[in-house]
Chain A
Amino acid sequence: MNTMKLLNKLLAGSIAVMLLLSANKGFSQGAEKASLSITLSYFEVNNQLPHISAMVKTKVDGRFKPAAGIPLKLFLSKDSSGTVIGNIITDENGQGFAFIPPSLKSEWKSSKTHTFLATFDGNKKYESAKADLTVAKAKIEISTSDKTITAKVFQLNDTTWVPVKGVDVKFGVKRLGADLPVNETPTFTTDSTGQAAADFKRDSIPGDSKGNIVLVAKVEDNDQFGNIAVEKTVPWGAKFIPVSNFNERTLFATRDKAPIWLIIVSGGIIIAVWLTLILLVQNIFRIKKLGQETE
């Protein structure tokens, strides 16, 4: 009997220890932080102020999903903590961006390549993370003649710009949602002179009131140069003359601008019906007169 009691106590004790251990394991799992993946991109349009864009993702149930609300610190140079571009917080798409501020102009000019750095210090939910991106300074020049667009890609070599061979360039027309390719070829590669040319085959594309459209030549997601683009306005589009029926005779215009057909049809019906009714009222007086004559 005593042996049985002892066995029961041992069993209960073992179960309690097991439960405690498993609970401890559970807590330790809950305290584990998730890791973040940061991707940096470099953008420069029309040789103007460049900006750095960051995309932050985290793995949820085995899939990468955007991480919102992540504070990042951006630096111009990986090795210099004094070159802060700025602090950003990612939006609901896990994205954020910052322009290189004018205060870093001298640091920006001091080198032909820069290695941008993004750091995250970590918080209760995520481990700290960092990412860098090395970009060589480059530019595109665009020229047009006889419905042909030519782009020249240059790279900064110390103090001079030298043509770059073998860079993929896209030519497009700027539209509201995205850039429309100028012809059926998606990309063109620069030759030894750094040139790539494309024929413009969007003749009937609507432009502004003067037929102006904006052409764009761009290098996208290039390992060496990042994203650079240049634009040029040309009068190659069809003139867009806006058609407005404001203040004309329409169904939705003011009362003095009712469509003529509506006035005629409705007026005709109203006159016809009410004329009949007036005659029928007059008929009552005729009947009355007949009655008085009979008297």
Chain B
Amino acid sequence: MENSIKGEQIIQDLLPRKFKTSGRIWVGILVAICLVGVYAYYRQLRYGLVVTNMRDYVSWGIYISNFVFFVAISLVGSLITAVFRLAGVKWGAPLTRIAEMIAVGAIIFASVIIIVDMGSPERFYNLFLYGRIQSPIIWDVIVITTYFFISLLLLYYPLLPDIKILLRFKEKSGPGLHKFYSFLGSFWKGSHKQYLLSKKAINALCVAIIPVAFTIHTVTSWLFATTYRPGWDSTNFGAYFIAGAFLVGAGSVVVAMYIFRTWYHLEKYITPDHFDKMGRVLVLLCLLYLYFNVNEFLTPFFKMKESEAGYLNDLFSGSFALTFWFAILTGIILPIIILLFKSGRKPLPMFIVGIMVVVGAWFKRYLIVTPTLLHPFMPMHDVPQMYKHYFPSWEEWAISMASLAGTMLIITILCRIFPIIPIQETLDEHHETVK
């Protein structure tokens, strides 16, 4: 960072800002999408899950694909915040809050979408009352709750020094937000003892979040892998899911970095160097995920067991081939090719690559869920022909899109309330550089 940036200038640059017209339009669009989703969900509650196109064959459809996608994205909090921090990666500091905001938004909607997938959500409490500890679904419920709580704490602790700064600008934040800031952290005086306690807590959280993050996505993969079906019956699934999760999480951070940088003019704080380094991380994660994909598909393809042939052929050359190869090419292969070049790691190409990775990852989650369900080991007899095909109904699309919009809305609201880049950390780094 340039030495010429003064402390007060940094604060002014990084303070949360009120939405301008474009911001309001953005929020309006997200709210509108959410409202359509709410109406679709009302119809689902009113008429039951029959409004979806999920039937006896495909009982986990786009909702569960979305759930896996959200869980995957949420893992980025642990990567950028914890892994980078513990590994002493200093350049990642400005990105930590973005990552944590994405993690919190995604994990909230991972929980919401699971409830949406339930036919009778009013019976949700039975999961806690009568849940079996032997069931991976219960493990998932426990781990998601834990991860959500850790993510909140990891968002909150580093915010404390920034809240002290925010409280100085009452006229800028307005009385409502000022009151909220006071509630959250008016007790933070920045004393040495407070600093030590906070640092200790952040370190403990960073250590705790890594195994929990690995567990959350491994357990999510076990929801599939412990079920005996073509494509899911794999010992590779835990590692395969985690590799994919880190990739899509990093991709989403890159997209958010570019948008925030451009929208809030944060070019001095999120520099091309950050993009270059995130590009290197992203290409590594792409290669890792490619490796696991080769493991996941090459060996079954080579053996082509009769019971799995229908599923594999449908993926490679059948009705899902277009989606499959799109997801592989767009989400993995093309990003690797682009990111290997230095010019490919500049902000705009990185932004495009980030979108490719995220979109490819969403389709990849859809492919993990649906084709397998359409090819059971024991085909059902006497079912209507329509059960053997699946394409989400408009209600499913509306609810799923609303969940994506909801996640972005949470991130948008969080970045309206809190600084996107940690102010105190940036100031400390600036002082160190000046010295």
Q: Measuring CB to CB, which residues of chain A are less than 8 angstroms from any residue of chain B?
A: 250-255, 258-259, 262-263, 266, 270, 273-274, 276-277, 280-281, 283-284, 286-288, 290-292, 294-295
| B187 and A287 form a contact (CB under 8 A) | yes
Closest to A277 in B: B149
Assembled-state Cα–Cα distance A116/B188 (Å): 106
A-B contact pairs, 7 of them (CB 8 A): A252-B134, A262-B133, A273-B146, A273-B208, A287-B160, A290-B194, A290-B197
Binds A, one of B107-115, B198-206, B235-243, B416-424: B198-206
List chain B residues, Cβ under 8 A from A284.
Answer: 156, 201
Would you list the 5 A-B pairs with minimal beta carbon distance, nearest first? Answer: A291-B187, A288-B187, A255-B132, A294-B189, A251-B134
CB distance from A246 to the nearest CB of B (A): 15
Chain A residues with CB under 8 Å of B189's CB are: 290-291, 294-295
Kindly list chain B residues whose C-beta atoms are within 8 Å of the C-beta of A292. 187
B86-133 at interface with A (beta carbon < 8 Å): 130-133
Is B212 engaged at the interface, CB distance under 8 Å to the other chain?
Answer: yes
Docked complex Cα distance between A255 and B133 (Å): 7
Closest chain-A Cβ to B232's Cβ sits at a distance in Å of 18
Nearest residue, chain B, Cβ from A295: B189
Contact of B139 with A by CB under 8 A: yes
Asked if residues B133 and A276 are in contact (CB atoms below 8 Å), the reply is: no
Asked if residues A290 and B146 are in contact (CB atoms below 8 Å), the reply is: no
Further 11 A-B residue pairs, CB within 8 A, beyond A255-B132, A281-B153: A255-B133, A270-B142, A273-B146, A273-B208, A274-B146, A276-B204, A277-B153, A280-B205, A287-B188, A294-B189, A294-B191
Please measure, in the bound complex, the distance between the C-alpha atom of A252 and the C-alpha atom of B201, giving whole angstroms: 39
CB within 8 Å of A: which residues of B? 130-134, 139, 142, 146, 149-150, 153, 156, 160, 186-189, 191, 193-194, 197-198, 200-201, 204-205, 208, 212
Question: B60 CB to closest chain A CB, in angstroms?
Answer: 21
Q: In the bound complex, what is the Cα–Cα distance between A1 and B369 (angstroms)?
A: 82
Bound state CA distance, A262 and B149, in angstroms? 24
Cα separation A228 to B186 with both chains bound (whole Å) = 99
Complex Cα–Cα for A255 and B102 (A): 35
For B197, list chain A residues within 8 Å (CB).
283, 286-287, 290
Bound CA span A291–B186, Å: 8
Q: Which residue of A263, A274, A294, A295 contacts B133 across the interface (Cβ within 8 Å)?
A: A263
Partner of A280, one of B131, B142, B193, B204: B204
Inter-chain contacts of A274 with B (CB < 8 A) = 146
Across the interface, name the chain B residue whose C-beta is closest to A267.
Answer: B133
B150 in complex: contacting residue of A255, A266, A277, CB < 8 Å: A277
Q: Which residues of B contact A294 (CB under 8 A)?
A: 189, 191
CA distance A85 to B130 in the complex (A): 62
A129 and B193 CA atoms in complex are apart in Å by: 107
Q: Are A266 and B139 in contact (CB under 8 A)?
A: yes
Closest to B164 in A: A291
Expressed in whole angstroms, the Cα–Cα distance for A267 and B381 within the complex equals 42
Nearest to A285 among chain B residues (CB) is: B187
What is the CA–CA distance of A262 and B134 in the complex, to the nearest angstrom? 7
Instruction: Determine the residue in chain B with the shortest Cβ distance to A276.
Output: B208
Q: Which residues of A contact B188 (CB under 8 A)?
A: 287, 291
Q: Are A253 and B212 in contact (CB under 8 A)?
A: no
User: Please, which residues of chain A bring their CB within 8 A of the CB of B194?
Assistant: 287, 290-291
- How near does chain A come to B228, taking the closest CB pair, in angstroms? 13
A280 CB contacts on chain B under 8 angstroms:
153, 201, 204-205
Please measure, in the bound complex, the distance between the C-alpha atom of A270 and the C-alpha atom of B143, giving whole angstroms.
9
A283 touches B187 (CB 8 A): no
Smallest beta-carbon distance B368→chain A, Å: 24
**Distance in Å: Cβ of A230 to nearest Cβ of chain B:** 41
Are the CB atoms of B130 and A255 closer together than 8 Å?
A: yes
Of all chain A residues, which has the CB nearest B202? A280
A259 and B134 contact, CB distance less than 8 A: yes
Residue pair B133, A266 in contact (C-beta under 8 Å) = yes
Distance (Å) between the CB of B264 and the closest chain A CB? 29
Q: Would you give the shortest CB distance from A146 to chain B, in whole angstroms?
A: 49
By beta carbon, the residue of chain B nearest A294 is: B189
Q: Within the assembled complex, what's the spacing in Å between the Cα atoms of A284 and B157?
A: 8
Across the interface, name the chain A residue whose C-beta is closest to B191.
A294
Q: Which residue of A lies closest to B132 (CB)?
A: A255
A283 to B160, CA, bound (A): 13
Distance of A186 from chain B, by nearest CB (Å): 35
- Give Cα A288–Cα B187 distance, bound, in whole angstroms: 5
Q: How far is the CA of A229 from the CA of B32 in the complex (A)?
A: 81
Q: How far apart sit A280 and B193, CA to CA, in the bound complex (Å)?
A: 15
Q: Which residues of A contact B149 (CB under 8 A)?
A: 277
Query: Which of chain B's residues have a CB closer than 8 A to the CB of A254?
Result: 132
B204–A258 CB distance below 8 A: no
Distance (whole angstroms) from the CB of B198 to the closest CB of chain A: 6
Give the CA-CA distance A287 to B189 in the complex, in Å: 9
Cα A140 to Cα B95 in complex, Å, equals: 91
Contact partners of A250 in chain B: CB under 8 A? 134
Q: In the complex, are the beta carbons of B201 and A253 less than 8 A apart?
A: no
Q: How far is the CB of A254 from chain B (nearest CB, A)?
A: 7
State whether A287 touches B134 (Cβ < 8 A). no
Q: What residues of A have a CB within 8 angstroms of the CB of B150 in the complex?
A: 277
Give Cα A250–Cα B133 distance, bound, in whole angstroms. Answer: 11
With most chain A CB atoms within 10 A of its CB, the pick from B153, B186, B201, B208 is: B201
Specify the chain A residue showing the minimal Cβ separation from B205. A280
Q: How far is the CA of A214 from the CA of B217 in the complex (A)?
A: 55
Instruction: Please tell me if the beta carbons of A273 and B212 are within 8 angstroms of each other in the complex.
Output: yes
Q: Known contacts A273-B208, A273-B212; is A283 also within 8 Å of B132 by CB?
A: no
Contact, CB under 8 Å: A287 / B198: yes
Measured between beta carbons, the chain B residues less than 8 angstroms from A252 are 134
How long is the Cα–Cα vector from A270 to B219 in the complex, in angstroms? 14
- The residue of chain A having its C-beta at the shortest distance from the C-beta of B154 within the complex is A280
Which residues on the A side are within 8 Å of B204 (C-beta)?
276, 280
Residues of B within 8 A of A290 (CB): 187, 189, 191, 193-194, 197
> In angstroms, how far is the closest chain A Cβ from the Cβ of B433?
28
- CB A200 to nearest CB in B, in angstroms, measures 41
In Å, the complex CA distance between A25 and B4 comes to 106
Docked CA distance A270–B138 (Å): 12
Check B198–A258 contact: CB distance below 8 A: no
Q: Is the Cβ of B187 less than 8 Å from the Cβ of A277?
A: no
Instruction: Determine if A253 and B134 form an interchain contact, defined as CB atoms under 8 angstroms apart.
Output: yes
